[in-house]
Structure 1
Amino acid sequence: MKVEAATDLNEGAETMDVTSNGRTISMGKAIAYFALSLVINSAGNVLTLVTSAKIHPSFLGAAYWSAAEANLGTAFHWNLFWAFLVMGFLTAVLNAILIHHWDWKRIAGNMVFMVPFSALIQVFEDFFTGKYPALFAGLPEARSLGMVILYIGLNFLGVAFIAVAISIYQRVNLVLHPADDLMQILRFRYFKGNAARAMWASYIPPTIMAIIAVIITHTFVNFGLGTIFAFLAQGGITGIADKTIFPKLKHQAVDVGKIDD
């Protein structure tokens, strides 16, 4: 199947061929791109969470999925590893529903992604909170206006890291985080390649997660200015990164299920 996908985020001015059957890069390059994107994504996610927690009162918030999963983890007394892993599996189930068939290979790929990703999330959280003092003492509390401004910048940078990482490993398309697989399905199956619209639609599940967490805990944390920035800008940054970060890397082997004409 070949999908004609408009990838310009401002009304889809540019058209791109997305080939579902073949690959144009070697497996070695694909794995290298994937490994790099996994580290960037994990670091970005944790950067948004930690900078949010270091400002009091908390107004910054984390990236949208990270915020929802962290809240749900608090509600069920899970650490970040289990919160990200469980919600990843549930999202993989949703993806199977959207493409109209249960693909064990695809779901296994989602889980293959989730295990090292969730582990890296925990590693970076420990690093940024100072649990490896020999390497880094951790980000201090923001006690001045300058520190607050710095953490806002780091938070937004974390969102940009996530968006760039999504762009890279969606194009590589070896295995995907279930949330990004959801975004890719929505992007090429339902939104004609528009990354921003697909990203916004993909935020429906974490919104439901957050509502469940609020009902259980009666608290609402990790949502704020940074979350709003992620909601508005992350999809757009992903679309820009498609063209500017490793621009010769094209979308590989996209499979969004059979699309009826």
Structure 2
Amino acid sequence: MIKTANGLRKPTIFEAFFYFALSLLVNAFGNGLTVAANMGSSMWTASAANIANDFSFSISWVLIIYGASQILINIVLTRHFDWPHIFGNIIFISFFGPFVGFFKSFFLTLGIANLPLPIVISLDILGICLIATAVSIYQRLNLILHPGDEMTNILRFQYFKGNAKIAQWVNFSIPATVIIVLMLIFRQITAVNIGTLFAFFFQGTVLNYADKVAFPKLKHRL
């Protein structure tokens, strides 16, 4: 919903398209940046990067498969089939995975991993903050969501009384488990570093802050 002087109104078609397209690009940009920096990605992306590395898969395809799995989890959490949202989830992951792969390749071509360590860490944390900001925007729009972020939305408002931090931690427990299991099996780990810890402990906090400062007139449409 959009806050106006007279209350709240639904976003126009142009506003909805603008917010969705912007948040999708910012999210993919941030994820691509963190994967290329290799100083720690958001939990789901870090988990996908480890699967891709351990099994020689394309990270774009792993993210798409992850998205499909998250859709099934959301059905279990809500206990019903929300076909419009499921269709929106499919649209999102169809674009999201390839965009992340594109931005990852773009940043690797720029040689981001060869920059001085403090700069790489700063860029990695910037990427995670961009991810949280993008999630904040399209969660408030609540039109087309990445299924992983819809999971956070479901947990946040249906299970944890609006607490984004707890909802994010519960969400992240799944990819964290995958990372630990793969590390024990393959004795290697990738895309997990300072940035991953920052994402685990503070992404929910950044998301809460972004709700207030990034397009503050855009309010949650539950």
Q: TM-score by structure 2 length?
A: 0.91
TM-aligned CA distance change 1:110 to 1:150, over 3 Å: same
Give SS of 2:140's match.
helix
Counting only pairs closer than 5 Å after superposition, residues 208-223 of structure 1 correspond to structure 2 as: 208-223=177-192
Deviations 1:11-46 (A, max 9, x none): xxxxxxxxxxx9621121011011001111111111
Give SS of 1:203's match.
helix
Q: Give the deviation of 1:215 after TM superposition.
A: 4.5
Task: Pick the aligned partner of 2:146 from 177, 184, 205.
Answer: 177
Counting only pairs closer than 5 Å after superposition, residues 68-79 of structure 1 correspond to structure 2 as: 68-79=47-58
Identity of aligned residues (%): 39
Counting only pairs closer than 5 Å after superposition, residues 14-29 of structure 1 correspond to structure 2 as: 24-29=10-15
- Give, as a single letter, the amino acid of the residue that structure 1 aligns with 2:29: A
Q: Determine the structure 1 residue equivalent to 2:111.
A: 138
Counting only pairs closer than 5 Å after superposition, residues 1-261 of structure 1 correspond to structure 2 as: 24-52=10-38, 60-130=39-109, 137-142=110-115, 147-252=116-221, 254=222
Deviations 1:158-213 (A, max 9, x none): 01000000000001111111110000000000111111111111112212322343
Q: TM-score by structure 1 length?
A: 0.78
TM-aligned CA distance change 1:71 to 1:140, over 3 Å: closer
Q: Determine the structure 2 residue equivalent to 1:6.
A: none
Runs of 4+ off more than 4 Å: none
Instruction: Assess if the C-alpha contact under 8 Å between 1:40 and 1:161 holds in 2.
Output: yes
Q: Give the deviation of 1:140 after TM superposition.
A: 4.9
Instruction: Assess if the C-alpha contact under 8 Å between 1:69 and 1:209 holds in 2.
Output: no
Q: Tell me the matched-pair count.
A: 215
Q: Give the deviation of 1:115 after TM superposition.
A: 0.9
Q: Give the deviation of 1:102 after TM superposition.
A: 2.4
TM-aligned CA distance change 1:126 to 1:189, over 3 Å: same
- Give, as a single letter, the amino acid of the residue that structure 2 aligns with 1:44: G
Cα distance between partner residues in 1 of 2:157 and 2:93: 22
Instruction: Assess if the C-alpha contact under 8 Å between 1:72 and 1:212 holds in 2.
Output: no
Cα distance between partner residues in 2 of 1:165 and 1:192: 22
Cα distance between partner residues in 1 of 2:45 and 2:219: 27
TM-aligned CA distance change 1:107 to 1:209, over 3 Å: farther
Instruction: Assess if the C-alpha contact under 8 Å between 2:19 and 2:141 holds in 1.
Output: yes
Deviations 1:38-91 (A, max 9, x none): 111111111111112xxxxxxx32221110111112233211110100011001
Cα distance between partner residues in 2 of 1:63 and 1:228: 9
Cα distance between partner residues in 1 of 2:9 and 2:181: 41
Cα distance between partner residues in 1 of 2:131 and 2:104: 15
